Amino acid sequence: MEHTFDVLIIGGGVHGASLAFHLARRGVRVAVLERKFVAAGATGRSSGLVRMHYDLEAEARLAWVSFGYFRDWARRVGGEPDCGFTRTGFLQIVEREHADTLRANVHMHQRIGIPSLLVTADDVRRLAPSFATDDFDLAAYEPESGYADPPSTAQSLMNAARARGAVLIQECPVTGIRVQGGRVAGVTTPRGEFSAPVVVNAAGAWAGEVCRMVGLDLPLSTWRHETMFAHRPPDILTHPTVIDFPNSMYFRPETGGLTLVGLEDGNLLGLPPADDEYVRPDFVERAGERICRRIPAMVHGGVHSAQVGYDGITPDQHPALGPLGPEGFWLDCGFSGTGFKIAPAVGLCLSEWILDGAPQTVDITVFSPARFLEGRTLRGEHPYENIWR
Ligand SMILES: Cc1cc2nc3c(=O)[nH]c(=O)nc-3n(C[C@H](O)[C@H](O)[C@H](O)COP(=O)(O)OP(=O)(O)OC[C@H]3O[C@@H](n4cnc5c(N)ncnc54)[C@H](O)[C@@H]3O)c2cc1C
C-alpha cells in the first residue's frame, strides 16, 4: 500500500469525503484515513435537512453554494449512489418576538440570491393544512429546500474522489500525528505510518482528541442528539421540512409515510462519543408530545424508531475551518449539529484555501479556529439564540 501522499484527511464523514473529492479533482494525491467506515459518525445518523436559512451570512452562502450540488448532483459530483435530495419546501417558524430578526435574515438571503420569502401563518396553513398555526405570525419559506440522504451523499463524494485517484483506508484509526521542525510530517496508525506535508482534522466528534495529538487544546466538545421516526396517520400524505423555534424542534417527512423529529433542547454536551447508544427513556415521549403540538393529528400516528448521534460542537456553534498549530495542520470540524448541508461548499472552499492560499468561492476565513485562542466568538448579523440548548 502506498504510504506517501500530498494530503491526509483524518475522518471519512461527509466533510472528509467532500474535501477529498475537491482535492482529487485538482490532481492532489489524497488519502482518507477512517477509524471505522464511511459515514460511521454523525453523517450516518444525520437528519439531512438541506435549507439555507442561517443568521450568519457566510453560512447562508455555504448552504446556497452547496444547494447547487444537491440539486444537480449527477452533473456536479456524478458518483453513485445519488445524494437522495428530495424537495419538500422548508419553513422556518419563529416566535413572535423574533419576527423582525426573521425579516432581516430573509432579506439577507434574498440579497444572496436564495429563493426565500416571508409568509404569514395563514399562508402556512394553506401550505401545510395539518399544522397548528396559532402561535406565530410570520415564517420564512424556501420552496426549493428539503432533505438529502447523508450516508449516500458521503459515499457518493468518496466514490467520486476515488474515481479521481483518492485513496480510502477504512478500519484505520489515527493514533498520533508526527511533527518535525514545527510542521506536520504524517500520521501513525495500527496499519503503519502515512506521510504528507498536510494533515486535515475532519474527525467530527473526535476532533478535539485529534487536535491534542499536535498539542492543540481547543474548546471542541461533543453534542449528543436524539431523533425519532414516527408513522404519520394516512390522511397526512406529507408536509414541508420545518425548523420550529416555538417548539424547539425540527421535523421533515421521510419515505414510507414517516416523519423524522429532532429536538433543539435537552441535547447533552461533552460526553465521549459512543457508537451503540439508545435514546434516553423520556425522549420518544418528549418528541411525540412536541410534534403533536405542531401537527395535532399526529396523535393518531405511532413511533417507528429512534436513534442517537454525536457531532463536534464549538462554543459559538459555528465550524472551525482553517490552519492552526504546526504548519500543515488544518481543521475541518466543529460543525455543531448543522454541518451536513454545507459539506459540498466547505470542501470546495477549504481545497481552495489549502491549494491557492485563500478561499475563493465563499470567504470561510471567518471560521478560523484562531478565534477560540483569541477569545472571540462568531455571531450572526441578525442573531437568533443558539439553536442547541
Ligand atoms: C443526529 C444528527 C442529526 C443531524 N441533522 C442534521 C441536519 O438535519 N442537517 C445538517 O446540516 N446537519 C445535521 N447534523 C450535523 C451533521 O450531520 C454533521 O455536522 C456532519 O455529518 C459532520 O460530518 P463530519 O464529516 O464532520 O463528521 P462525522 O460524520 O462524524 O465523521 C467523522 C469521522 O471521523 C472518524 N474518526 C474519528 N476519529 C478518528 C481517528 N482518530 N482516525 C480516523 N478516523 C477517525 C469517525 O469514525 C467518523 O467517521 C446532524 C448530526 C446528528 C448527529
Enter the CATH code of domain 87-145+227-309.
Answer: 3.30.9.10
CB 331 within 8 A of CB 199: no
Measured from the Cα of 333, ligand 1's closest atom is: 26
Measured from the Cα of 37, ligand 1's closest atom is: 49
The CA-based dihedral angle spanning residues 120, 124, 127, 131, taken in that order and rounded to the nearest 10 degrees: -170
What averages of pLDDT result for each successive group of 10 residues across the chain (389 residues)? 92 98 98 98 98 98 98 93 98 97 98 98 98 98 98 98 98 98 98 98 98 97 98 96 98 98 96 91 97 98 97 98 98 98 99 98 98 95 88
Q: Can you give the pLDDT at residue 389?
A: 80
Kindly give the interhelix angle for 343-356 and 150-163, rounded to the nearest 10 degrees: 30
Measured from the Cα of 310, ligand 1's closest atom is: 53
Q: Say what the pTM is.
A: 0.98
57 CA to centre of ligand 1 in angstroms: 23
Tell me, rounded to whole angstroms, the distance of Cα 243 from its chain centroid.
Answer: 15
Q: Can you give the pLDDT at residue 276?
A: 84
Q: Can you give the pLDDT at residue 2?
A: 72
- Ligand 1 neighbours (beta carbon < 6 A): 10-16, 33-36, 40-43, 45-49, 150, 173-174, 202-206, 210, 225, 227, 309-311, 333, 335, 337-341
Measured from the Cα of 33, ligand 1's closest atom is: 43
Residues with Cβ within 8 Å of residue 158, at least 6 apart in sequence? 12, 17, 20, 21, 32, 38, 79, 166, 168
337 CA to centre of ligand 1 in angstroms: 8
Q: Can you give the pLDDT at residue 386?
A: 82
Closest C-alpha to ligand 1, atom 37? 203
Give domain 1-86+146-220+314-389's CATH superfamily.
Answer: FAD/NAD(P)-binding domain (3.50.50.60)
Can you tell me whether residue 161 is helix, strand or coil? helix
Closest C-alpha to ligand 1, atom 31? 13
Domain boundaries, the chain: 1-86+146-220+314-389, 87-145+227-309
321 CA to centre of ligand 1 in angstroms: 15
